[in-house]
Homo-oligomer: A and B are copies of this chain.
Amino acid sequence: MTLQNPTTPQKKNVGILIFPEVEVLDFAGPFEVFSRTRLEGGVASRRSEDSAPFEVFTVAKTMDEIQAVGRLRVTPTYSFATVPNIDILVVPGGFGTRPLLEETETLDWIKTVGQQVEQLTSVCTGALLLAKLGFLTDKQATTHWGAWDMLNQIDPSISVQRDQRVVMDGVVTSAGVSAGIDMAFSVVEAFHGKAVADETAHYIEFLRRG
Interface residues of A (CB under 8 A from B): 23-25, 28-29, 31-32, 35-36, 43, 46-47, 56-58, 65, 69-77, 95, 144-146, 165, 175-179, 181, 203-207, 209
* A interface secondary structure, majority: mixed
Compute how far the CA of A49 lies from the CA of B18 in the bound complex, rounded to whole angstroms. Answer: 22
Copies of this chain present in the complex amount to: 2
CB pair A204–B177 under 8 Å, yes or no, is yes
Known: A43-B146, A178-B206. 13 other contacts (CB 8 A): A23-B32, A25-B28, A25-B29, A28-B32, A28-B72, A32-B177, A36-B70, A73-B76, A144-B205, A145-B205, A176-B203, A177-B203, A179-B205
Contacts of A76 in B (CB 8 A): 73
Query: Once bound together, how far apart are the Cα atoms of A204 and B71, in whole Å?
Result: 17
Q: How far is the CA of A29 from the CA of B25 in the complex (A)?
A: 6
Q: Least Cβ distance of A88 to chain B in Å? A: 15
Partner of A70, one of B25, B56, B178, B209: B56
User: Per a CB cutoff under 8 Å, which of B32, B71, B177 touches A205?
Assistant: B177
The closest CB in chain B to the CB of A144 belongs to B205
Verify A204–B181 contact, CB threshold 8 A.
no
A46 to B145: give the CA distance in the assembly, Å: 14
Min Cβ gap A48→B in Å is 11
Which residues of chain B come closer than 8 Å to A177, judged between CB atoms? Answer: 32, 203-206
